[in-house]
A = this chain, B = another copy of it.
Amino acid sequence: MRSIVDKVIAIDAMGGDNAPVEIVKGSVEAIGVFGDTKIMLVGPEKLLKSELSKYSFDKNKIEIVNATEVIGFDEAPTHAIRRKKDSSLVVGLKLVKEGRAGAFVSAGSTGAILTGGTFLIGRIQGIERPAIATLIPNLHGETLLIDSGANVDCKPEYLLQFAVMGSVYAENVLGVKNPRVGLVNIGSEKEKGNTLTFAAYELLEASGLNFSGNTEAKEIPLGAIDVAVCDAFVGNVILKYSEGFAKALLAMIKKELLSGLLSKIGALLSAGAFKRLKKNFDPSEVGGAAFLGLNGLVMKAHGSSDARAIKNAVKQCRLFIENDIVAKIEKELLKEK
């Protein structure tokens, strides 16, 4: 049963490159769009009051929760979480822990959010390592990439748990029936891979998941699977490589198109199509990557999040809460025991 807390989303007003301006703006936009959502904006009270004074909005729907410190991108996570107890990140995570908010969104340092989330909110019982699940575009829609940022050195059991969590996400938030789970690997045959994937294959094959076997990385952008399972080193390489590759490819296209008169006219006529395409690769469209495995909902927004990204992260949180993802992960995990 949904409680009143489920409608409350805490937001780190000081996290990310565009804080607090865009974060505050996005929060105001979110309460405009999602009528029953209330937002707790976490950060220095005076500063946030002044930012909020720029807008007219329903004052009952945004509450400022004072936090005087900020954790930067360059700070060592464990040290920062321990030392800065009055940071927007620590105060925000505690709102979830204490049951005052149903979710926490931050565009701050991934490492600090993960460390803070694990220390302050804790893990779902049975989860060995929380993981980050990020949606990446493919030819036909989206693929959920897990782990895309938390655990660079993994045991096979972690990968099985990532697969379980990713399946719950894909099925319940994305609405994919019986999601296809692929193990990212260097070949499709069972005997391919490194020590980690070899052992993980056995676990995934014996699981109750819809396991598609080993998946070569080239199959991911082509949309062959719904959930791509890997350690966070590989996941980060995929995420970052595609970011750079899309940028490079679009720059090459631009250069080629501007190199001749005919193609220059062609480029002008196709401008709308390219604009739509760029939107496909815009992280603001999704809003947030979820930290799965924590005993509460924590959403990481891209470091360069603008107001729209924050609004979309709130939307993601609502979907997670409505679909009871944390409880469902706990339940599915028991099945794999």
Q: Which of A230-255 contact B (CB under 8 A)?
A: 231-234, 236-249, 251-253
A267 in the interface (beta carbon within 8 A): yes
A327 vs chain B, min Cβ distance (A): 31
A221: chain B residues within 8 A (beta carbon): 241, 244-245, 247-249
- A260 and B234 contact, CB distance less than 8 A: no
Does A257 sit within 8 A of B, measured CB to CB?
A: yes
| This chain's copy number in the assembly | 2
Q: Which of B197, B217, B243, B276 contacts A218 (CB 8 A)?
A: B243
From A231, A234, A244, name the one whose CB has the most chain B CB atoms within 10 angstroms. Answer: A244
CB-contacts of A267-288 with B (<8 A)? 267-274, 276-277, 280
**Chain B contacts for A152, CB-based, 8 A:** 186, 193-194
Q: Tell me, in angstroms, the Cα distance from A233 to B238 when the chains sit together.
A: 12
Is A200 interfacial (CB-CB < 8 Å)?
A: no
Interface residues of A (CB under 8 A from B): 138-139, 149, 152-153, 184, 186, 193-195, 197, 216-223, 231-234, 236-249, 251-253, 256-257, 259-260, 262-263, 265-274, 276-277, 280
In contact, A269 and B266 (Cβ under 8 angstroms):
yes
B248 touches A260 (CB 8 A): no
**A253 to B253 Cα, complex, angstroms:** 10
Q: Is the interface of A mostly helix, strand, loop or mixed?
A: helix
Smallest CB–CB gap between A158 and chain B, Å?
13
Q: From residue A251, how far is it (CB to closest CB) to chain B in Å?
A: 6
B266 A244 Cβ-Cβ under 8 A: no
Q: What residues on B are CB-neighbors of A237 within 8 Å?
A: 184, 186, 217, 234, 237-238
Minimum CB–CB distance from A296 to chain B (whole Å) comes to 25
In whole Å, how far is A242's beta carbon from the nearest beta carbon of chain B? 6
Smallest CB-CB A-B distances: 4 pairs:
A266-B269, A218-B244, A266-B270, A256-B273
What are 27 sample pairs from A and B whose C-beta atoms fall under 8 A apart?
A138-B248, A152-B193, A152-B194, A186-B236, A186-B237, A193-B233, A194-B233, A217-B238, A219-B244, A222-B244, A237-B237, A237-B238, A249-B249, A252-B277, A253-B277, A256-B276, A256-B277, A257-B273, A262-B270, A263-B273, A265-B269, A266-B268, A266-B270, A266-B273, A267-B270, A269-B269, A270-B270
